Amino acid sequence: MPHVERILSRETPRNRVDCAWALAHLGGDNATSHLAERAMDEALRDAEVEVRHAAVLAARWIVRPADRAVSVLSAATHDGSPRIRTAVVEELRMIGLDATPVIDCLRGLLGDPDAVVRTTAVLAWGHCMRPGGEVIPSLVPCLSDADSEVRQAAVYALGEAYEYRAIREGRRDVEARRVVEPAPPEALLPALAHPDPDTREGAARAACVLCHAAAPIEEGLVTAAGDPEPQVRRYALAALAGFGVERAAIREALLHGLADPDPVVREHLTERLINLGCARC
């Protein structure tokens, strides 16, 4: 296909991206695919952000199979533009969040220097739902991020993961912590005491899934069970219910929870205790 080679060598970088898109839609033989990937590789290294951005958006359509596309996108996570790195996250979500290469790529972006990239990566990371993995524990440090948008994203992602895992176990509020690897309980303590109520809620939600009974987290959750925000109390009490009622402090907190002034808190705790009781029968 010498005419295509001439286009790829003579046109501007932006037009080379367009040409690669056209080649991707044409499909065809290995020679066509090779030319498309070559155009993509050049565009991803272009000096113009717009060209690199277009290349990222086209990569999953042009580079096949999917694992090779992930490899191409992984290289773009080191791009100097936050816009490019954010686009990489979105494209990885479109490819699928269950494959190990995708998860490995996203993991590195959780600590990206740009807050928008971190926020996007956190939201995507919360949908990586592999049983027994590190997905939820890896979100815990994000609850203490310096940026409020990242913290709120972590709260949302943890909430989604909590509900997803509970539903997968058969009931909305059944104990689900056994499907993930527990995090050190102390990791949640700063977030449980954070001045931002959404951050405290996210920490309490995480405790429902992550934590086994241990003195430091028990004390933090007992304190959170008296939080001024109903949503914090709701999930702190749900986590404490999963620890059992043998310890006096937990039993007292749960009794107070059953008389909480907020009806949603009372109903959620009652449902949680009933489901846990059924699960342990």
- Whether residues 240 and 148 share a domain: the answer is yes
Query: Of 64, 81, 104, which residue is a domain's last?
Result: 64
Burial class (CB in 10 A: 0-12, 13-18, 19+), 263: exposed
- Residues 119-139: what's their mean pLDDT? 74
Tokens 């899934």 map to which residue?
209
Statement to judge: residues 157 and 279 lie in one domain: yes
Q: Answer whether residue 125 shows pLDDT above 60.
A: yes
Same structural domain, 154 and 274:
yes
Residues 28 and 161 in one domain: no
Q: Are residues 152 and 276 located together in one domain of the fold?
A: yes
Number of domains the chain is built from: 2
| Cα separation, 144 vs 47, whole angstroms | 35
pLDDT value, residue 253: 95
pLDDT at 161: 64
Q: Does residue 229 form part of some domain?
A: yes
**In the predicted structure, residue 84 carries a pLDDT above the cut 90:** yes
* Domain co-membership, 247 together with 150: yes
Q: What is the mean pLDDT of residues 215-243?
A: 91
- Please list, in sequence order, all residues whose beta carbon lies within 8 angstroms of the beta carbon of residue 13, skipping any fewer than 6 positions away: 42, 43, 46, 47, 48, 51
Do 281 and 148 have their domain in common? yes
- Is the same domain home to 271 and 181? yes
- pLDDT attached to residue 112: 95
**For range 35-44, the mean pLDDT:** 76
User: By percentage, how much of the chain surpasses pLDDT 70?
Assistant: 73
Which of 16, 42, 64 is the endpoint of a domain?
64
Tell me the average pLDDT across 210-217.
Answer: 64
Q: Do 46 and 148 sit in the same domain of this protein?
A: no
Q: Which domain holds residue 11?
A: 1-64
- Whether 258 is covered by a domain: the verdict is yes
Q: Are 236 and 257 in contact (CB under 8 A)?
A: no
- State which of 64, 87, 106 marks the end of a domain: 64
Same domain, 60 and 156: no
Residue 118 in any domain: the answer is no
Please answer whether residues 96 and 124 qualify as being in contact, where contact means their C-beta atoms are separated by less than 8 angstroms.
no
Instruction: Tell me if 182 is assigned to some domain.
Output: yes
Q: For residue 179, what pLDDT band results from cuts at 50, 70 and 90?
A: very low
State mean pLDDT over 178-186.
Answer: 48
Confidence check: pLDDT of 102 > 70: yes
Q: Reply yes or no on whether the pLDDT at 180 is more than 50.
A: no
Q: Is the model more confident about 195 or about 136?
A: 195
pLDDT at 133: 53
**Average pLDDT score over residue span 99-116:** 88
In tens, the pLDDT along 238-274 reads 999 988 888 899 999 999 999 999 999 999 999 988 8
Instruction: Report the pLDDT averaged over residues 93-108.
Output: 81
CB within 8 A of 144, min separation 6: which ones?
151, 190, 191, 194, 199
Res 59: pLDDT? 82
Percent of the chain at pLDDT above 90? 27
**Residue 133 covered by a domain:** no
Residues 57 and 186 in one domain: no
Is residue 46 over pLDDT 70? yes
Answer yes or no: do 145 and 280 share one domain: yes
CB 122 within 8 A of CB 153: yes
In a domain, 87, yes or no: no
Binned at pLDDT 50, 70 and 90, residue 171 comes out as very low
Q: Quick check: is 146 in a domain?
A: yes
Q: What is the CATH number of the domain that holds 163?
A: 1.25.10.10
